Structure 1
Amino acid sequence: MAGMSRETFWGPWSFYGSLVALAGFGLDRLNKWWMIEVYDIASRGRVEVTSFFDLVMAWNLGVSYGLFQAQTALGVAILAGFAIAVIIGLGLWLARVEYRVTAIAIGLILGGALGNVYDRIFYGAVADFFSFHAFGFYWYIFNIADVWIALGVALIILESVWPGLVGAGKKDSPDGKSGDKSA
């Protein structure tokens, strides 16, 4: 692996982003365990929490919005393999980030992706529970991992549109120091 530096796999914000990812994964697993094993949402059917929010049990065999349904072991393996490739790519990106907000964003996405790939590997589908609806329109059913992914993507979009959000063009440093972007 000549020519590859340490930053190819582990950069100054990798530890920080990894902690966010582990926390996100842990909270997702805790929520799914509680909903499935303790609360036993499957036996309860639809639980109306408010007039616009229900708890339900839905096993998503596909990806977002139920696209690319995987109903065979090969299909599940392909979706899990794709998710693992995305996780590796995000890890490599994390090694190169310069801003704390980017590390947080990637960590959130990684935590969510890990939570959903765990489900896909161990259950063959992703467990979803939260259903928002209003005026006859039902939004897709989702889980905590999906929330982490959406928040991470939103942070990346915000950072790309408003770079000043992360320190007015200064590079962040995990040790709390800032450096000039041209350095």
Structure 2
Amino acid sequence: MRGARQVSEPDPVDDAETPVPAVGGTDEPTPPARPRRLSLLVWLALVVFGVDLASKLLVVATIEPGEDIRVLGGLLYLTQARNTGAAFSFAEGFTVVFTLVAAVVVVVIVRTARRLYSTAWAVALGLVLGGAVGNLVDRVFRDPGFLRGGVVDFLSVFGPDGRYYPIFNVADSAIVCGGVLGALLAFRGVEFDGSRSGATAPAD
């Protein structure tokens, strides 16, 4: 019909080019990533190793084998003993076996540290790592020989010469404390990344 106005239809919208707003808005800040606890583990392990090494050197230099020094009113005795077994003189005679076990423990902890975000686990593993390295150094470098060296123990509680409780050292104490803490964390379901088993929220 002459003179009739033609109404142009709108161009179809290309859905592929239409921006889709992000869920929750685009202006929300991204939560900061939780830092790894590797530095805490390393520093704690170094402190334990340093204290353990210094105390052993001091004991060897100042206390004769078989000598007992009474301190804290008899609650603690300082002595010098050599342990070829595990912590607290357990299973003596298996020095090489425990040396290899300690080396494996060190390697496992170092590998685990790459996915460590939990402060509590960093403390537990740092204590075990420092103690394991401290006793491992004794087994490698002390007499009677490589991998068979006797670990220097010098703390005897409640009586001399391990009368009531096996003689131990700083490394033994760190290993036991770290192991107990690790067992508690595992019992509570706390993972290395700080989350709990079956949960997504970190339990640091």
Q: Match of 1:69?
A: 92
1:67 shift after superposition: 3.0
Deviations 1:104-141 (A, max 9, x none): 1100110001000111111111000000126x961110
| Residues 1:36 and 2:60 aligned together | yes
Correspondence 1:25-174 to 2 at 5 A: 25-37=49-61, 40-42=62-64, 45-49=67-71, 50-70=73-93, 76-123=95-142, 124-133=149-158, 138-162=164-188
Q: Which runs of 4+ in 1 moved over 6 A?
A: none
Q: Which runs of 5+ in 2 are unaligned?
A: 1-34, 143-148
1:80 shift after superposition: 1.9
The count of aligned residue pairs is: 154
Name the % identity: 29
Which one of the candidate residues 23, 26, 44 is aligned to 1:20?
44
- Cα–Cα, structure 1 residues 68 and 137, in superposed 2: closer, same or farther, change >3 Å? closer
> 1 or 2 for the larger relative contact order (CA 8 Å, sep ≥6)?
1
CA RMSD of aligned residues (A): 2.9
1:20 shift after superposition: 1.0
Q: Which stretch of structure 1 is more off in the superposition, 116-125 or 151-160? A: 151-160
Aligned-partner Cα distance in 2 for 1:109–1:155: 10
Aligned-partner Cα distance in 1 for 2:202–2:70: 51
Structure possessing the higher radius of gyration over alpha carbons: 2
Deviations 1:29-83 (A, max 9, x none): 111111112xx2125701111223211111001112423323xxxx644432221
Q: TM-score, normalised by structure 1?
A: 0.72
Aligned-partner Cα distance in 2 for 1:145–1:137: 20
> Which is richer in helix?
1
> Which is richer in strand?
1
